[in-house]
Structure 1
Amino acid sequence: MKMEFGLHLTQQQKLVMTQQMQLSVKILQMSAYELNQYIDKEILENPVIDFQCNESNKEAFDYKNLIKYFEYNRNTYVNENNGEEKISPFNFITLKKTLKESLKEQLLYLNTDENMKKICVYVIESLDERGYLGSTVDEIASELGVSVQKTEKAISIVQGFEPCGVAARDIKECLKIQLKNKGIIDDKIYFIVDNCLEYLANNKYAQMAKKLNITTKKAQEYGDIIKSLEPKPSRGFYNGEETKYIVPDAYINKIGDEYYIIMNDDIIPKLNINSKYKQIINSSKTEYDDEIVDYVKNKINSAIFLIKSIEHRKNTLYTVLQEIIKIQKDYFDYGSSYLKPMTLKDISDAIGIHESTVSRAIKDKYIRTNNTTIKIKDLFTAGIYSRNGGESISRTSVKGMIEDIINKEDKRKPLSDEKISRILKEKNMNISRRTVTKYREELGIVSSSKRRRY
């Protein structure tokens, strides 16, 4: 084998993203919440950045103005300028409270001896994430070295706390505690809880009625009562997960026959460069060390690029929304049934930017329109073509039609998926039964057998 060494000159094209380009892309795809978090971090790390809260947010930071409203036993205050009564901002200050914390607070007001309170605390700490008691009476009594009677009393005490149904050993006990709390003493409903929950889950009221020797309608009435109960007592309490609040990036408002986009500038503070640092780089070099001047220049360049990137994010989203409104005017006028098929490519071709840029611009972003906050991404949907190959319609529109058909059906004789498919075909939409079933399940609507009312 002959081996040769040599130098060869080749030319190739490569796209190399600079650090600034990467930052610009990163900011473009940030949600309003993420952008605020990022800006807070930059303000702390970059001393040349000045920030100013928007007018609508000033009151939230004006502590002297806010503290005068802090009056005990008052839920409202009067605005001194116009005399109007407003809700006190302190009404919205809440603490995250877990189920166990709530139960322990209720225990503080219990008139019983400290020993019993300690057993109750142990019972509370033994609850699982649903609010159920996973340990048996014997296990708790053995672990604490107390009598079974005292343990049973402690469990009974905790079961008397709010939310009703807490500290139950299983779902049956949880439901029965709630029934007793409501003053319901009918033996048949307790029999259903003990023996017929599977029938109830599947709306098999006829089998349930036969078992109890009652009418199907009466069985359904019992079922409605049981379904109104809470099978998970811990629902609504803080479980350790952070709540992310949805903040719209823009408002779509209709004025006359036209829709206008109002960007939500209140979501982020207004950033600018501190004038003192501008003086440093504009002054003669003899006044400051070169190292200081270079440091300030770098920080100012970073701040300017951040401000430009935020503005670019805003302008790109505005341009995308303008095109969305052109395509989806019927949706904004009449609702989800009129949502047209629309893809990222449709928008990118119309405004002359890459599909990936459109995707980043709408990522995790919301708009507020018609008293509803919606995710922009949900307005994008592929088309389903009608039977004769005519105008395409969106999946969302089809789902809306299916939901509307089900809402208008006779609940005594609910429509099967096959029947719904035939109704849609009569409207010139070739939607198969399997597709109807898929969309119905995605809408969270149960089958016809479970929708039937007696």
Structure 2
Amino acid sequence: MQLYTAQSFAQRQSLVVTAQLQQAICLLQMPNAELSSFIEAQAEENPFVELRLPPAPAPSVALPRTAAAVGDDWDRIAGLAADPGPSLYVHVGAEIARLGLTPAEAAAAGVFLDALEPWGWLGQPLDVLALRAGLSEAEAEALLARLQGIEPRGLFARSLAECLRLQAEEQGLLTPLFSAVLGHLPLLAAADLRGICRACGCGMEELKLVLRQLRGLNPKPGALFDAAPSPQRPPDLVVSRSAEGWRVDLNRSTLPSVVVRDDAAEGFARRAAPYVGERLSVARWLARAVEHRNQTTLKVGAEVVRRQKGFLDEGLSKMQPMTLREVADAIGVHESTVSRVTSGLMIATPQGTFPLKSFFTAALASREGDTSGSAAAVRHRIQKLVQAESPDDPLSDDAIARIISDEGVTLARRTVAKYREQLNIPSSVQRRRQALVTGAL
């Protein structure tokens, strides 16, 4: 056997993901707020990068509002945070100070206050709190009774039943039957009214009277102090109607830009030329990458708007099926690019503000065999059918499937069940039980 060495040459192509390419990919899926933070971080370490923000205050996004858009779309007023008032912790702390407790009792009450959950219940067992506060079990019970007298009633409850019992007692509703119903809340959660009647020894009419009173109580009194809605994030794209039809624009009121400070390079000494050249190159690349991100976002948004004119005119019932590949082929980019652009951006339309990703939905077959209607439109139709149904005769999944199939879209019962679960809609049996509990029947 002979051994020898040899050299060979070959060429091959491979994609190398450089650091700049990784940053460019990340820029595609950044909302305007994240993009501002990213550019600001770059400006801190690069003297030739300057972040330029839109003039303040930002103008509101003026869009014609339809009935479907009420409460959904974003404007400046919705983005302003209302005065939330005192927090639950501050309110309860002030009420404890008014109870006239001794210093030792006030310190123990602070332990109970620390264990208060945001919805107003105690988050730890009473024996654990008694040990932490240095109280006996009887002393802890006595202190808890005083704390449970704080308004609104129901605070410092140890369970849902106790929370409702405290409120019923204050309002004079705590009859023997009411107390018995509170002892069978699992049956009420299952909407087993007949089971409750048997367990409590009452008739259906008597039970319905108690249920009407029960519905007037608040199971989470602590939530009253956290009712201020969080401001909705401004959209990245804005759709409006022009003389030529629907058009989409970047939301310039929140869009940052990069300014390359070429003039600042003149102040550096000649010996710093390598550093200046490298930093200027990075700054110019960042400016080009942000501009490319904006143009790609605008192209994707324009193609989505072009394909969803029916939705813009009439709402979710006219949502058209659309895939990432179709949009990518139409604008000449890779499918992954469209996926990244649509993953984190919001678009404001006359029908409301939506994630850009929500416009991509599967197509369903029609009775003629072609594709007709989107999954989003069918889900919207199912929701409308359930909302319009009679409480004493709710529509089954089979009935909903027949109605939608008669309208032209082939739909199986199991598909209706899947979409119903996605919409958090209970089954027809559960909906009828809920109607009994809420007094609709």
Question: Could you tell me the TM-score, scaled by structure 2's length?
Answer: 0.83
Q: Does 1:253 align with 2:231?
A: no
1:36 Cα deviation after fit: 2.3
**Is residue 15 of structure 1 aligned with residue 19 of structure 2?**
no
Whole-angstrom distance in 1 between the partners of 2:260 and 2:171: 64
Counterpart among 199, 220, 227 of residue 187 in structure 2:
199
| Equivalent position to 2:281, from 280, 295, 301 | 301
* Larger RCO, structure (CA 8 Å, separation 6 or more): 2
1:165 aligns with one of 154, 168, 177: 154
How far residue 258 of structure 1 moved from its aligned partner, in angstroms, is: 1.4
Contact 1:164/1:177 (<8 A) preserved: yes
1:296 & 1:179 partners in 2: Cα distance? 74
Alignment RMSD, CA only? Answer: 3.2
1:289 to 270, 281, 289: 270
Instruction: State the alpha-carbon separation in 2 of the partners of residues 163 and 259 from structure 1.
Output: 51
Among 344, 363, 367, the alignment partner of 1:383 is 363
Contact 2:32 2:236 in 1 (8 A): yes
Cα deviation for residue 4 of structure 1 reads 4.2
| Cα distance change of structure 1 residues 193 and 93 upon mapping to structure 2, 3 Å threshold | closer
Task: Say if 1:402 and 1:137 are closer, same or farther in 2 by CA, change over 3 A.
Answer: closer
Correspondence 1:149-188 to 2 at 5 A = 149-161=138-150, 164-188=153-177
Q: After alignment, is 4-13 or 138-147 more displaced? A: 138-147
Distance 2:245 2:205 in 1: 52
Tell me the distance in 2 between the aligned counterparts of 1:91 and 1:420.
42
Please tell me whether residue 398 in structure 1 is matched to residue 378 in structure 2.
Answer: yes
Distance 1:145 1:348, change over 3 A: closer
1:351 matches 2:309: no
Q: Is 2:264 the counterpart of 1:277?
A: yes
Matches of 2:244 and 2:169, distance apart in 1: 57
| CA contact 1:248–1:366 (8 Å) conserved in 2 | yes
Paired residues of 2:367 and 2:408 also in contact (CA < 8 A): yes
Query: What percent of counterpart residues are identical?
Result: 29
Q: CA deviation at 1:33?
A: 3.0
Query: 2: CA distance between counterparts of 1:90 and 1:129?
Result: 23
Amino acid at match of 1:394: S
- With 48-57 and 316-325 compared, the bigger mean Cα shift is at 48-57
- CA apart distance, 1:122: 1.3
* 1:205 and 1:220 in contact (8 A); partners too: no
Aligned match of 2:71? none
CA distance in 2, matches of 1:94, 1:21: 44
Match of 2:431?
Answer: 451
CA distance in 1, matches of 2:414, 2:144: 49
Any idea what SS the aligned residue of 1:121 has? helix
Amino acid at match of 1:207: G
Distance 1:106 1:451, change over 3 A: same
Out of 229, 240, 265, the position equivalent to 2:252 is 265
CA deviations 1:161-214 (Å, max 9, x no partner) are 45642321122112222333555334433321212x222222223333454455
Residues 1:142 and 1:295: Cα distance change in structure 2 (over 3 Å)? closer
Distance 1:247 1:92 in 2: 17
Instruction: Tell me if structure 2 keeps the 8 A contact 1:123–1:154.
Output: no
Q: Which residue of 105, 111, 129 maps to 1:122?
A: 111
Give unpaired runs (5+ residues) of structure 2.
60-75, 436-440
Partner residue in 2 for 1:57? 57
Pick aligned residue for 1:146 from 114, 123, 135? 135
Matched, 1:368 2:356: no
Contact 1:116 1:150 in 2 (8 A): no
Amino acid of the residue matched to residue 251 of structure 2?
N
Query: Quick one: which of 293, 306, 315 aligns to 1:326?
Result: 306
What do residues 227-281 of structure 1 show as CA deviations (whole Å, max 9, x unaligned)? 564444554778xxxx795221011112357112121122243431336414337
Q: In structure 2, what residue type is equivalent to 1:157?
A: R
How many angstroms apart in 2 are the aligned matches of 1:267 and 1:42? 18
Residue identity matched to 1:356: S
Normalised by the length of structure 1, the TM-score is 0.81
Rounded to whole Å, the distance in 1 between the matches of 2:376 and 2:388 is 18
Find the counterpart in structure 2 of residue 442 from structure 1: 422
Cα contact 2:372–2:409 (8 A) shared by 1: no
User: Shift in Å at residue 356 of structure 1?
Assistant: 0.8
1:95–1:28: structure 2 CA closer, same or farther, 3 Å change rule? farther
1:370 CA drift (Å): 1.7
Structure 1 residue 295, shift from structure 2 partner: 2.0
The answer to whether residue 38 in structure 2 is matched with residue 38 in structure 1 is yes
Amino acid at match of 1:113: T
| Structure 1 partner of 2:178 | 189
**CA 1:414–1:147 in 2, change beyond 3 Å: closer, same or farther?**
same
Provide Cα deviations, 1:314-344, integer angstroms capped at 9, x if missing partner: 1111111111111110011111111111000
Instruction: Indicate the SS of the match to 1:393.
Output: strand
* Equivalent in the alignment of 1:6: 6
Deviation string 1:431-454 (CA, Å, 9 cap, x unpaired) is 222211111111111121222232
Deviations 1:120-146 (A, max 9, x none): 111122345764335554554455443
Structure 2 CA distance for partners of 1:143 and 1:274, relative to 1, 3 Å: closer
